[in-house]
């Protein structure tokens, strides 16, 4: 009875610590909201053995900041977790029920490594052996909750961290079929250049060894034997390669990324991160087409790797996005569980490829790997990266134990922002290496190794668990509407054919137009950045057109029926430009055509346009100068033409009229003389 009361007291203490202290046990512990150091004690998990054999020793590496005098570290282990629902509760900080035992050691007695980190070794007794003073009462394989506490001299807990202890058989396989784990690593950043053309230093810093993408590259290279799937965006790789030209530290991380692709799957993706559902919310999207087309083939060329164009990460997902990617030839998908309609209740954690479809049909179904929402949340659990990784690995191990004889696969999609905990990727890769419960696989291997069952229909007429429907939802409004994008893309196309091939201004405007569609910016900055990038297109075009002038001509005089009109163009760009000039007049005929496609060399050029006058007099001629496709207006002028030409018919009529008048005057003169003579 006394032992039961003690276990209950320990459990109550653990629960209180979990509620009151666990949330502050991560890297931010010991600091106030402004980031200034405080005296609050903090216990942080730095590293942990991913699994421990029965009868072995689990090593945990810790830091203890602000520890009070005579502090102790205690470890409390709970009963093995048997169900997924209980695991989710315990991993989220809830009480873990009955306690197996608790051990404690003075902080001063815990050895340290050369870096000053605490090395806490917790032994596990063999099944029939007597338990030692620093051994946890864990004798069988399973997943056990483990609370580590920093206690003061009065044995009161002042800091704590919860993790999981994963225990495997020592001398034989714990599961007959290890759980396949498809680890998908996004390699993406917001657009790398600001609207003014300057590199975004916040993005560029991500490529350095201490940046989140640099750390990812180094982690992938450090554990090359563990299969994984990389999902890069081309613009990020372009920026990485660009920065690597001048920064040796960035060159090192880019080389690490290129070297880490061997034996791993590399997926094709959009040119830069975009919200496809938003772009497609109102129907077909020119922006979506451009982003997808521009990304095709670029990743492989930049990494020097063979890419898989058949598989894409569908994040975020919508029926329209699924249909659009299916139309481009995508066969397999990775999708987040939150983007799908709820799955039917099952006894086991869903861990197999599914058939992805949309409500009402109209889109060809496709096989997909679906992430586990609970495990995805643990990837960003409070605390250190080591803690997050261990919780995820423990959750995966429990999934493996649910059905130890079935081939199954779970999918992890790592966070893709700067908030990714430092070391998370490497901790996961190391934890998956030689793991007795888990078998890391690439996404293509996951589809090939775990068959997708046909979607059975249940007795009540509802589809089985292997058929999943993409939830319709209401995507947020796109930062750039399709009409706006289409109009600017049309102007850019005209700009590109007007100026010289390879004009840097054309490339900058194109890059900005694509960047304006990105969904990767901070929400507060996105509207201003998108507007700034859109303005680059008009500004680049305006700068070009401002250097092309058509001086106002003086009145042009034609002295014969056929002649020419001189048109003068001033090109101050310093290189040839291509334009179209169109003339129109009711009084002139253009025998060689009234529309001229011109290539104007630098400086001043005069072009003569053949004309024929239909009459004499002064009359206007309209001149419209545009890009060769007529999209960009360059200049609108009205010329004055004076024609002194009189046609042969006019001369004959004039002479005839003069003759008639002369005869009439003569006859009239004779009649007047007769009248005077008779009088």
Q: How many domains does the chain have?
A: 5
Torsion angle (degrees, nearest 10) of CA 78, 81, 84, 90: 0
Q: Is there a single domain that holds both residue 205 and residue 316?
A: yes
Q: Where are the beta strands (DSSP E) in 477-616?
A: 548-549, 556-558, 562-571, 577-584, 588-589, 595-600, 603-613
Q: Is there a single domain that holds both residue 538 and residue 503?
A: yes
Domain boundary among 118, 136, 168: 168
Domain boundary among 526, 544, 562: 544
Strand partners, 62: 45, 118
Separation of alpha carbons 145 and 138, rounded Å: 11
Order of strands, edge to edge, in the sheet holding 52-53? 52-53, 157-168, 142-151, 72-78, 99-106
Q: Is there a single domain that holds both residue 268 and residue 335?
A: yes
Q: Is there a single domain that holds both residue 490 and residue 405?
A: no
The pLDDT of residue 658 is 60
Q: What is the mean pLDDT of each run of 10 residues along the chain (679 residues)?
A: 38 40 38 48 96 97 95 96 95 91 96 96 90 91 97 95 96 94 96 94 95 96 97 97 97 98 94 95 92 93 94 94 93 94 84 88 88 94 94 98 94 85 93 97 86 46 65 90 95 96 94 95 89 96 95 82 89 96 92 94 94 87 94 92 66 55 67 68
Residue 174 located in a structural domain:
no
Task: Look at residues 314, 239, 302, 311 and name the one whose alpha carbon lies nearest to residue 274.
Answer: 314
Separation of alpha carbons 58 and 51, rounded Å: 8
Q: Is there a single domain that holds both residue 588 and residue 634?
A: yes
Which pair of tokens denotes residue 532?
């700034």
Q: Is there a single domain that holds both residue 559 and residue 603?
A: yes
pTM of the model: 0.85
Instruction: Residue 520: give the domain boundaries.
Output: 482-544
**555: DSSP letter:** P
**What sign does the CA torsion over 200, 206, 209, 214 have?**
negative
Separation of alpha carbons 48 and 668, rounded Å: 131
Residue 211 located in a structural domain:
yes
The pLDDT of residue 374 is 94
Helix (H, G, I), strand (E, B) or coil at 586: coil
Q: Is there a single domain that holds both residue 119 and residue 21?
A: yes
Residue 458 located in a structural domain:
yes
Domain holding 38: CATH number? 2.60.40.2550
The pLDDT of residue 72 is 96
Yes or no: say if 102 and 55 are a contact pair by the CB < 8 Å rule.
no
- Residues 6+ away with beta carbon under 8 Å from 659: none
Domain holding 356: CATH number? 3.20.110.20
Residue 173 located in a structural domain:
no
Helix (H, G, I), strand (E, B) or coil at 505: helix
Residue 353 located in a structural domain:
yes
Q: Is there a single domain that holds both residue 107 and residue 242?
A: no
Q: Is there a single domain that holds both residue 642 and residue 653?
A: no
Separation of alpha carbons 326 and 320, rounded Å: 10
Residue 514 located in a structural domain:
yes
Q: Is there a single domain that holds both residue 157 and residue 300?
A: no
Q: Is there a single domain that holds both residue 497 and residue 425?
A: no
CB atoms closer than 10 angstroms to residue 597:
10
Residue 293 located in a structural domain:
yes
Neighbour-count burial of 182, counting CB atoms closer than 10 A to its CB (0-12 exposed, 13-18 middle, 19+ buried): buried
Which pair of tokens denotes residue 406?
């079935």
Q: Is there a single domain that holds both residue 346 and residue 417?
A: yes
Domain boundary among 496, 511, 544: 544
Residue 477 located in a structural domain:
no
């Amino acid at each position: 009875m006394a032992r039961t009361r003690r276990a209950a007291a320990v459990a109550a203490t653990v629960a209180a610590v979990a509620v009151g202290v666990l949330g502050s046990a991560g890297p931010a512990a010991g600091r106030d909201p402004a980031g200034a150091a405080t005296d609050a004690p903090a216990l942080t998990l730095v590293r942990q053995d991913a699994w421990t054999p029965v009868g072995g020793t689990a090593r945990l590496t810790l830091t203890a900041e602000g520890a009070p005098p005579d502090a102790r570290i205690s470890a409390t282990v709970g009963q093995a977790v048997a169900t997924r629902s209980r695991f989710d509760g315990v991993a989220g900080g809830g009480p873990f029920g009955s306690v197996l035992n608790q051990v404690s050691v003075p902080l001063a007695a815990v050895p340290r490594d050369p870096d000053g980190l605490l090395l806490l070794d917790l032994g596990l007794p063999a099944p029939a052996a007597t338990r030692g003073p620093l051994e946890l009462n864990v004798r069988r394989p399973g997943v056990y909750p483990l609370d580590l506490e920093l206690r003061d001299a009065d044995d009161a807990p002042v800091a704590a961290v919860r993790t999981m202890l994963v225990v495997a058989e020592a001398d034989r396989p714990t599961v007959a079929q290890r759980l396949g784990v498809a680890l998908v690593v996004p390699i993406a950043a917001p657009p790398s250049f600001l609207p003014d053309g300057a590199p975004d230093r916040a993005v560029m810093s991500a490529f350095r060894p201490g940046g989140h993408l640099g750390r990812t590259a180094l982690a992938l290279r450090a554990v090359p034997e563990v299969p994984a799937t990389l999902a890069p965006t081309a613009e990020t790789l372009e920026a990485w390669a660009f920065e690597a030209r001048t920064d040796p530290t960035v060159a090192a991380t880019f080389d690490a990324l290129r070297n880490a692709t061997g034996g791993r799957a590399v997926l094709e993706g959009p040119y830069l991160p975009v919200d496809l559902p938003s772009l497609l919310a109102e129907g077909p999207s020119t922006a979506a087409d451009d982003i997808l087309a521009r990304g095709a083939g670029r990743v492989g060329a930049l990494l020097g790797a063979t890419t898989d164009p058949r598989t894409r990460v569908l994040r975020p997902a919508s029926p329209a996005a699924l249909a659009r990617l299916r139309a481009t030839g995508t066969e397999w998908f990775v999708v987040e569980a939150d983007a799908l309609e709820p799955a039917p209740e099952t006894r086991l954690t869903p861990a197999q490829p599914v058939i992805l479809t949309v409500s009402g049909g109209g889109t060809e179904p496709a096989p997909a790997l679906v992430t586990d929402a609970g495990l995805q949340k643990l990837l960003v659990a409070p605390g250190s990266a080591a803690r997050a990784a261990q919780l995820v690995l423990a959750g995966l191990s429990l999934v493996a134990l649910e059905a130890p004889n079935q081939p199954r696969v779970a999918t992890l999609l790592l966070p893709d922002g700067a908030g990714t905990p430092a070391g998370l990727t490497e901790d996961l890769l190391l934890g998956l290496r030689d793991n007795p419960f888990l078998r890391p696989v690439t996404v293509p291997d996951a589809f090939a190794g775990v068959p997708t069952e046909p979607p059975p229909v249940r007795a009540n007429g509802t589809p089985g668990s292997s058929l999943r429907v993409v939830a319709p939802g209401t995507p947020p409004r796109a930062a750039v509407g399709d009409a706006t994008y289409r109009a600017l893309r049309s102007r850019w196309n005209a700009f590109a054919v007007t100026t010289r091939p390879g004009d840097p201004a054309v490339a900058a405007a194109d890059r900005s137009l694509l960047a304006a569609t990105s969904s990767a910016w901070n929400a507060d900055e996105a509207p201003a950045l998108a507007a700034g990038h859109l303005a680059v297109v008009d500004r680049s075009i305006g700068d070009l057109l401002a250097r092309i002038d058509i001086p106002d001509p003086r009145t042009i005089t034609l002295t014969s029926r056929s002649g020419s009109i001189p048109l003068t163009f001033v090109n101050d760009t310093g290189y040839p430009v291509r334009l179209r000039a169109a003339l129109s007049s009711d009084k002139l005929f253009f025998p060689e055509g009234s529309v001229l496609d011109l290539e104007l060399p630098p400086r001043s050029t005069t072009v003569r346009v053949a004309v024929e006058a239909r009459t004499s007099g002064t009359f206007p001629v309209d001149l419209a100068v545009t890009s060769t496709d007529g999209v960009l207006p360059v200049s609108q002028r009205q010329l004055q033409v004076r024609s002194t030409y009189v046609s042969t018919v006019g001369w004959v009529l004039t002479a005839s009229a003069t003759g008639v008048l002369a005869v009439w005057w003569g006859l009239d003169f004779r009649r007047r003389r007769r009248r005077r003579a008779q009088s």
